[in-house]
Amino acid sequence: MCRLAAYLGTEITLSLFLQEHEHSLVKQSWAPQEMQGGTLNADGYGIAWLSDKNIACTYKNILPIWSDNNLDSLGRSLSSGMWLANVRSATTGQAISPANTQPFIKDKLVFTHNGSLKPFTSDIKARLLDLIPSMISADINGDSDSLYMFALLQHHLQHQNSIAEAIIKSMTDLKTICHDNVLALLNFVISDGETLYACRHALNSNCPSLYYLLKQDSLWIASEPLSPADDWVPFPEHKLMRFNRSAVIENYNL
């Protein structure tokens, strides 16, 4: 399991996004309150943002977020109107490596996943690869289940009219692939820089926690409320929601 956070709105510093809240993502790395199957997220972390030239960028570190001496300087110097971040608790058997560290990007698309496929067997990998064309699977440079799911999403983006349709199609495939003894925890957060998509979903298991907050023309999403005094809304289970910075635009059943 992991913990994640996302932001869409007026430009803010990385420090405000990642570090300054009472229950910030940094704090959730060592003191999560609602995480299934773990107590620490010490297997690296990553952040993604849009630069002032509208280019998706990432910074990743395989060390625990609290041990990164670069973070304070990055927090003061980087600003953006779109942020995604993930603090990682690696699934057993999946390497602690930059390739496996989220968020992942492809052009302007930014993706992060909170959850896992357990067990992530060679049979499950093979079923996924049967669906993913070689031009996309060739870019899978790690061994995490999240990388394979991102590749599956990229495949469907080539054939669907919208990101929402591609996410729904990916979830339908995962339901077919994951038989009764595979626990699939499937919280996704995805942004194209203009809007943000997030879902709270699971197969054969309880859904991981996920919340959102619409405040002062900005959208916040997090695995756990970052600011307990604010009115964070729990995501409905088995739903995909599309947001801009000030509202829920659409929602879909999964």
- Quick check: 180 pLDDT over 90? no
Let me know: does 120 contact 73? Beta carbons within 8 Å: no
Mean pLDDT, rounded, for 114-128:
96
Farthest-apart Cα atoms in the chain, separation: 48
**pLDDT value of residue 1:** 78
Mean pLDDT, rounded, for 209-219:
96
**pLDDT value of residue 249:** 94
Return the beta strands (E) in the chain as ranges: 2-13, 45-50, 56-61, 79-88, 104-106, 109-118, 183-191, 196-200, 202-203, 211-214, 219-222, 233-234, 239-243, 248-253
pLDDT digits (tens, 9 = 90+) for 56-68: 999 999 999 999 9
- Quick check: 161 pLDDT over 90? no
**Domains of the chain: residue spans and CATH:** 2-253 (3.60.20.10)
Mean pLDDT, rounded, for 109-127:
96
pLDDT digits (tens, 9 = 90+) for 186-204: 999 999 999 999 999 999 9
Query: Given pLDDT bands bounded at 50, 70 and 90, which one contains residue 160?
Result: confident
pLDDT digits (tens, 9 = 90+) for 2-54: 999 999 999 999 999 999 999 999 999 999 999 987 889 999 999 999 998 89
**pLDDT value of residue 38:** 81
Amino acid at 210: L
Please state the pTM of the whole predicted model. 0.96
Mean pLDDT, rounded, for 169-173:
98
End-to-end CA distance of the chain: 21
**pLDDT value of residue 179:** 86
- HSE-up (13 A, CA, CB side) for residue 118: 14
How many Cβ atoms are within 10 Å of 57's Cβ, its own excluded? 14
Provide the mean pLDDT of the chain: 96
- Quick check: 225 pLDDT over 90? yes
- HSE-up (13 A, CA, CB side) for residue 227: 15
